[in-house]
Structure 1
């Protein structure tokens, strides 16, 4: 199972340039945020999370993993975990939307805020939609001919990476993102959604390991190894996401007994 690109350097140079541009842009915006409001500043932890997310993307999209992923399905699964689960969590914890709201000119910031409150944003930001795009996309990819169709099509392969990244960021944002989300459900509802995601990943990985309905053109040993990576690596990523959710949980204060009696 292999496919080749027209230019050997393109798969290395282009991702590296995009990652470098993203890091530069975030660092410049963080410096602008600190200069605009020195008292409020911008958290160094947020910046560290963003750079960590880019490093994880770099590990997935650059050698040695990227070339190996074209030859071994286990490498592809390692890419999926990095691009679709680990990197999105780190990027979301960097609060990029909050950074944009603090640094954009006022008219653009108002337009961005209005977009976050729009009906389409409410639909896309629903946990069920995020879960369907993330976990449901895996079932479609591995249990239909879709994966085989991407193997020899570089454009489809990069679109697959983009789907992993965007759906992963959406799911991480819906569950535990620090950025503003006006229509985000309650914490218990998000925990239930995360539990469903954990169960879905477990079922998909077990079906893959057993060879049920799998449409992946790879040796059985590679498919089983990839299924194990999905099972254990996915569990760790989802536990990290649950930890991120718990650390941002701020229960509403209960009224004092005397205040309730007075009422």
Structure 2
């Protein structure tokens, strides 16, 4: 596959996202800065993957693994944390918004966002790409599948986009452990097959991305469950003869 093709989503995804965000700002609506930073970081990682040198001192296999980690694991997780679907729902006019909501509530959408299905899809990428005898011509479509599966899984367990039946933090963490275990075993089997430093990088890099996703899962849980400070008493003066507090 031509890695330079990653420059297209590296530019279009952040540009489209920021254009939609500007629509909100012109209406006077706010949007979380952290989400905008996440999509910019995703685009930056895709650009790094596209421009990574073909081979270095450790060999071409390591360069391929770096690109795979950035483009199909790290960048999709950041994109999921940016909440692109939620942003589109905020910007769309009423009629297109209703169409998109119906699509999100369809049987197909409920099936692929059911956490066991999303877990299987996310876990399947590494063994298929590194262990299965997939023809070289199919590596490009397989990379697209892996990236989309990573984005879908991160959306289900940690992202701000609307998902019906989103699992709780404990279930999400268990699903993440399943994905991490499959990736770890795949890396070890690939190492046993002679991949050497590339397999070690896949093992360590996969763990880094999955730990970061776990942090996002529990950060979401904390934001939803942390007690909010109670509003203080309204300060005022007493109106003669009524005893009611009149706000200043």
Q: TM-score range by the shorter chain?
A: 0.7 to 0.9
Shift in CA distance, 195/15, structure 1 to aligned 2, threshold 3 Å: closer
Contact 1:174–1:184 (Cα < 8 Å) also in 2: yes
The number of aligned residues is: 223
- SS at the partner of 2:103? helix
> 1:119 Cα deviation (Å)?
1.3
Report the Cα distance in structure 1 between the residues aligned to 2:157 and 2:60, rounded to whole angstroms. 32
Partner of 1:57 in structure 2? 46
- Two-structure CA RMSD over aligned residues (Å): 2.1
CA deviations on 1:34-58 (whole Å, 9 max, x unpaired) are 222x2x4112221111010011111
Given candidates 58, 68, 75, the residue that maps to 1:80 is: 68
Contact 2:23–2:91 (Cα < 8 Å) also in 1: yes
Shift in CA distance, 15/113, structure 1 to aligned 2, threshold 3 Å: same
- Structure showing greater radius of gyration is 2
- SS at the partner of 2:51? coil
Report the Cα distance in structure 1 between the residues aligned to 2:201 and 2:178, rounded to whole angstroms. 19
Report the Cα distance in structure 1 between the residues aligned to 2:176 and 2:13, rounded to whole angstroms. 29
Partner of 2:14 in structure 1? 23
1:197 aligns with 2:179: yes
Structure 1: give runs of 5+ residues left out of the alignment: 6-10, 212-219, 254-263
Q: Which has the higher contact order (CA 8 A, sep 6+)?
A: 1
User: After TM superposition, which residue ranges in structure 1, 4 or more long, deviate above 3 angstroms?
Assistant: none
1:144 aligns with 2:126: no
- SS at the partner of 1:248? helix
Partner of 1:184 in structure 2? 166
Contact 1:35–1:41 (Cα < 8 Å) also in 2: no
> 1:252 Cα deviation (Å)?
9.1
CA deviations on 1:47-79 (whole Å, 9 max, x unpaired) are 11101001111111x2234x349x712222111
Given candidates 242, 247, 250, the residue that maps to 2:214 is: 242
Give 1:198-217 correspondences, 5 Å limit. 198-211=180-193
Report the Cα distance in structure 2 between the residues aligned to 1:140 and 1:75, rounded to whole angstroms. 19
